Every structure is written in structure tokens, then in C-alpha cells.
């Protein structure tokens, strides 16, 4: 929320979507969130990983008639080992990592 407005829709999952497929029901759920028009027209799934080799994945939702993009689903890996190391560290480093996840 920013100034009373929703700026981003997040739905955390505890399934490693890097090693395991994205189930269609999760994709459908986030597509509905993204298409709702709330926030930045993207539904983001932060999910836990233990690897540094993961990257953000993005699925665009297109209008089949106009072929234009109407929303996106973003799969955002969150490195649990990195978070563990940051817990005892500087609050600025923690904020920086969190901002990189939700930006």
C-alpha cells in the first residue's frame, strides 16, 4: 500500500517453483489477481528457494482479440539462505533485499 492505494499484489507460496512446475490453479489465481486492475496489473508469487542460480520468471497475459498484454504473473524466487544471513546483519541490507523482491 502507498498513500492508501494498492501498488502490488503478492501471494507467497512455499513450493519451490524453480524445481517444480507451476500448477495451473496457482497460475489461474494469480492471473485473476493481476487482471483485477488493482496495483500494477501484475500478480507476483514470491516463493522460497535455496539456490542463487534462480531468476525471476514472467508470464504475460494477452488479450486474444487485440493481442495486447493485459496483465502479468511474476514468479519471484526468495533465497532463504540469503535471508538467514541478513537476519543478523544491517537493517539497510535487509530492506534492500526485500525491496529487490517486491519492486
pLDDT confidence of residue 99: 85
- Higher-confidence position of 78 and 5: 78
Largest CA distance in the chain: 52
Any bridge partners for residue 44, and if so which?
10, 74
How far, in Å, are 17, 66, 81, 91, 103 from residue 95 at the CA level?
Answer: 24, 40, 16, 6, 12
Cell triple for residue 20?
517444480
pTM: 0.83
Amino acid at each position: 500500500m502507498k498513500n492508501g492505494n494498492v501498488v502490488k499484489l503478492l501471494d507467497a507460496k512455499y513450493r519451490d517453483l524453480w524445481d517444480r512446475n507451476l500448477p495451473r490453479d496457482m497460475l489461474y489465481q494469480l492471473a485473476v489477481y493481476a487482471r483485477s486492475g488493482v496495483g500494477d496489473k501484475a500478480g507476483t508469487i514470491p516463493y522460497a528457494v535455496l539456490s542463487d542460480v534462480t531468476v525471476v520468471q514472467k508470464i504475460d497475459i494477452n488479450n486474444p482479440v487485440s493481442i495486447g498484454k493485459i496483465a502479468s504473473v511474476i514468479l519471484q524466487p526468495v533465497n532463504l539462505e540469503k535471508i538467514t544471513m541478513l537476519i543478523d546483519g544491517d537493517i539497510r541490507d535487509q530492506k534492500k533485499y526485500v525491496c529487490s523482491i517486491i519492486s
